[in-house]
Amino acid sequence: MDKLILQGGHVLQGEVRISGAKNAALPILAGSLLATAPVKITNMPHLRDITTMMELTGGMGVRFVLDDQMGVEVYAEDIQRFEAPYELVKTMRASILVLGPLLTRFGSARVSFPGGCAIGARPVDLHLKGMEKLGAKINIDNGYIHATAPNGLHGCDISFDTVTVTGTENLMMAAVLAKGVTTLHHAAREPEVVDLANYLNTLGAKISGAGTDTIVIDGVKELGGGQYAVMPDRIEAGTFLVAAAITRGKIKLKQVAPTTMLQIIHKLTEAGADIQMDDNTISLDMHGKRPKAVRLSTAPYPGFPTDMQAQMIALNTVAEGVGHIVETIFENRFLHVQEMQRMGAQIVLEGNTAIITGKERLTGAPVMATDLRASASLVLAGLVAEGETTIERIYHIDRGYEVIEEKLSQLGAKIYREHS
């Protein structure tokens, strides 16, 4: 397996272009199953998860034509199979997003449980309850969800018990071709949900209220074609801002959407960063100073994103003072802490709270990535560790960051990939 090897202690400076958002591109690709005419999607990130979603939908009969400008043409007119097999779904939870489009357009879908998980572990049950309210019949057999809608789907009111991003997206897509009006209450407000709604509206859907907790979908007979650009990745952007802040550097991000990142920007300003922004750029300058420790609690959008929690822990490990970070979204999302402790980080876990006492420098060590954002946080720690840090199992990072070692190298980091 590939490894990343870093020599720490180098200040990051320069400019970097931010890629399209993985968490927007995946549902947009799934939503393309609804289109009866060709679609062109631009600003598509080149990531393992994107390749997996294309392989998944390609197995159903979707055809793709890629260009050299991060664009992909999607042809979903001739879909033959309505199944998402376990072999692909197990590697990526977002595969569940094909359920709504297949069900509403073709009246049938057979989708493996994501990651082979038990239904209670994450709120896949919220997706299924919503589909049943829309008129679907759900059978669960041998780890597969088999959904049918022999009489079509019909609009209704759906209220989520808890905020679920993929549940909101899945049911929004299912409702697009349902008869009548569907209202989603307690819906997720994430910018990626808004991006999906804007994409579907470009193809002829009638969706209003995305970005609020009440989304209204007026069903239409079919969706046509069109062209759409995926929004910038706010988590990649936040990770690079932290990389500059943790190394006391100066960075300019291009092709970003600052309005989707206000909580991240606010916390980095608290940490002592001088931040300037306009419509599509963000500049951060630490003026050579060590960051200050910050306190935060993760929350659904517009709160602080859980996908930036690990990166902020990394920042606090070398900050002045004591930081407190509370994780409210996912259990078991502190697996990176043990690896950072191997690098000398002073972190104490109390339930869902990490208490971090900052120190001047960390020490390089061999560490292992446990998930996508944890792997990014270990890269950040390696940037400020004395000596060499080796990060194993970096296939996690390739799921969500486009050539991270090349982008960091352009900014002055000493990092390279070792193929094995």
Find the largest Cα–Cα distance for the chain: 65
Q: CB neighbours of 214 closer than 8 A, spacing ≥ 6?
A: 183, 184, 185, 187
Label residue 351 left, alpha or beta by phi (over 0 means left) and psi (-120 to 50 means alpha).
Answer: left
Position 84, amino acid:
A
Element holding 127 (H helix, E strand): helix 124-133
Q: What is d(CA 292, CA 311) in angstroms, rounded to the nearest whole number?
A: 14
Q: What is the DSSP letter of 96?
A: G
Residue 151, class by beta-carbon neighbours within 10 Å (0-12 exposed, 13-18 middle, 19+ buried)?
A: exposed
Antiparallel, parallel or unpaired: β 250-254 and 366-368: unpaired
- H helices within 134-180, ranges in order? 165-176
Spatial contact of 8 and 387, defined as CB atoms under 8 Å apart: yes
Q: Is 156 a catalytic residue?
A: no
Q: What is the DSSP letter of 65?
A: E
Q: What is d(CA 272, CA 122) in angstroms, rounded to the nearest whole number?
A: 37
Catalytic residue among 46, 58, 87, 117: 117
Active-site residue numbers? 117
